[in-house]
């Protein structure tokens, strides 16, 4: 049996590697569109990128409109700037929102029609050179072939993907993550944990993705609590940055499963940040999923120290699920109710959320394939 494994053409990593950006993008374009958000401007992260571009004598313009989870309207705004300023390549700086926005601007700059036309289409076309610089350790968007954009007309989060979406260059510099507050650190780190766990237990898992997924899980379990308590710990920040990239590489090639499939509708309808909605769902989804993929979940449990080699697989898998629930609680993951979501409003959307989750295709990658009724039952457990 053969496998396909896709990663960016180049990944550079390490403390302050941003200063070398110019040497890596020489000849890739004549004017860059920096896609970012207002916080990155405020915290001085955009200034670091600007300094690197100025040192290399590369013209640029900044689009700081990716301030929320990306929508088709935000993409359209960036595309207008890209074209009016005559840019020919892009640099994404930020969390998943700016990177996903830049990915969409990149392919829509050469595509025909509306962005919603590309849902369930393998996006494979020549696109402008794209640099992705993550400022959180979580989404893994800097190395993936997917972008999630909200369709504001139909109120659906579109999962768009294909080879053209993968950034050409990923810059993994932990100094950018130092400004992330504890809540963002926790939410994005747990998103990375979901990526790794789902990739390792996916129907599409393969030997290379297993390697990256397990390495990411080990790092996240050890270093995320440290980053949460001490955001200035450079060793922990570097480890988490690498873990997020590893997890991104893993799920980019093995796909995500039930957690992400169920998470996207919550984000679209109730505007809960993506990483947080994943974390809210994770314990209940694991409880469902371990029954038909016990050995793999048991291996994660042993890796986390929740079980040992003498523990039988089922007991180790259950221990793993309990350890993940404890881990989320230690990182202060709130409930939907604590985030202001009303039970009656949530339950009124159960049918739509379950349908949208199945439509995404992600839950079907779970070894125990859920029915619509299964998904509704899991959603109900969140209250």
pTM over 0.85: yes
Contact yes or no for 136/96 (Cβ under 8 A): yes
Contact yes or no for 150/70 (Cβ under 8 A): yes
Please name the residue ranges forming H helices in 255-293. Answer: 258-270, 274-289
Taking Cα atoms as reference points, which of 48, 103, 47 lies closest to residue 74?
103
What are the phi and psi torsion angles at 236 (to 5°)?
-70, -40
The mean pLDDT of 106-134, rounded to a whole number, is 96
**What is the Cα–Cα distance from 359 to 261, expressed in whole angstroms?**
9
**What is the Cα–Cα distance from 219 to 199, expressed in whole angstroms?**
16
Q: pLDDT tens digit string along 163-210?
A: 999 999 999 999 999 989 999 999 999 999 999 999 999 999 999 999
The mean pLDDT of 286-308, rounded to a whole number, is 96
The mean pLDDT of 358-362, rounded to a whole number, is 91
Beta carbons within 8 Å of 36's beta carbon, 6+ residues apart: 45, 46, 62, 63, 64, 66, 92, 93, 94, 98
Q: What pLDDT was estimated at residue 154?
A: 86
The mean pLDDT of 355-366, rounded to a whole number, is 94
The mean pLDDT of 134-138, rounded to a whole number, is 94
Percent of the chain's residues with pLDDT above 70: 100
The mean pLDDT of 255-273, rounded to a whole number, is 93
Domains of the chain (ranges; CATH) run 10-177 (3.40.50.1970), 180-380 (1.20.1090.10)
DSSP string over 153-184: TTTEEEEEE-GGGS-SEEEE-GGGGGG--HHH
Contact yes or no for 38/54 (Cβ under 8 A): no
The mean pLDDT of 81-87, rounded to a whole number, is 98
Mean per-residue pLDDT over the chain, rounded:
96
**What is the Cα–Cα distance from 125 to 342, expressed in whole angstroms?**
43
Structure tokens at 269: 């309808």
Q: pLDDT tens digit string along 319-332?
A: 999 999 999 999 99
């Amino acid at each position: 049996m053969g496998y396909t494994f896709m990663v960016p053409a180049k990944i550079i990593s390490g403390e302050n590697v941003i200063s070398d950006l110019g040497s890596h993008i020489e000849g890739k374009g004549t004017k860059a569109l920096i896609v970012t958000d207002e916080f990155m401007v405020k915290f001085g992260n955009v200034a670091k990128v600007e300094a690197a571009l100025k040192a290399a004598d590369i013209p640029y313009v900044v689009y700081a409109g990716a301030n929320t989870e990306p929508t088709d309207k935000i993409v359209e705004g960036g595309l207008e700037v890209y074209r009016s300023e005559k840019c020919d390549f892009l640099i994404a700086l930020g969390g998943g929102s700016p990177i996903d926005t830049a990915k969409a601007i990149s392919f829509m700059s050469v595509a025909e029609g509306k962005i919603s036309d590309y849902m369930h289409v393998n996006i494979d076309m020549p696109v402008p050179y794209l640099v992705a610089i993550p400022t959180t350790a979580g989404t893994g968007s800097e190395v993936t072939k997917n972008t999630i954009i909200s369709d504001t007309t139909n109120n659906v989060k579109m999962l768009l993907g294909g080879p053209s979406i993968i950034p050409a260059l990923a810059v993994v510099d932990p100094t950018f993550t130092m400004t992330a507050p504890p809540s963002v650190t926790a939410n994005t780190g747990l998103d990375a944990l979901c990526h790794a766990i789902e990739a390792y237990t996916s129907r599409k898992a393969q030997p290379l993705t297993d390697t990256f997924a397990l390495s990411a899980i080990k790092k996240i379990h050890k270093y995320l609590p440290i980053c949460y308590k001490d955001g200035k710990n450079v060793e922990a920040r570097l480890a988490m940055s690498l873990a997020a990239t590893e997890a991104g590489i893993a799920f980019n090639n093995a796909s995500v499963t039930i957690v992400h499939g169920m998470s996207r509708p919550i984000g679209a309808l109730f505007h809960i940040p993506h990483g947080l909605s994943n974390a809210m769902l994770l314990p209940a989804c694991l409880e469902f999923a371990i029954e038909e993929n016990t050995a793999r979940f048991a291996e994660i449990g042993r890796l986390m120290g929740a079980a040992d080699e003498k523990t039988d697989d089922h007991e180790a898998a259950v221990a793993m699920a309990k350890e993940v629930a404890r881990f989320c609680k230690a990182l202060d993951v709130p409930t939907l109710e604590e985030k202001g979501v009303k039970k009656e409003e949530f339950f009124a959307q159960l049918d739509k959320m379950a349908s949208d989750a199945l439509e995404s295709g992600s839950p079907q990658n779970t070894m125990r394939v859920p029915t619509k009724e299964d998904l509704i039952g899991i959603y109900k457990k969140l209250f």
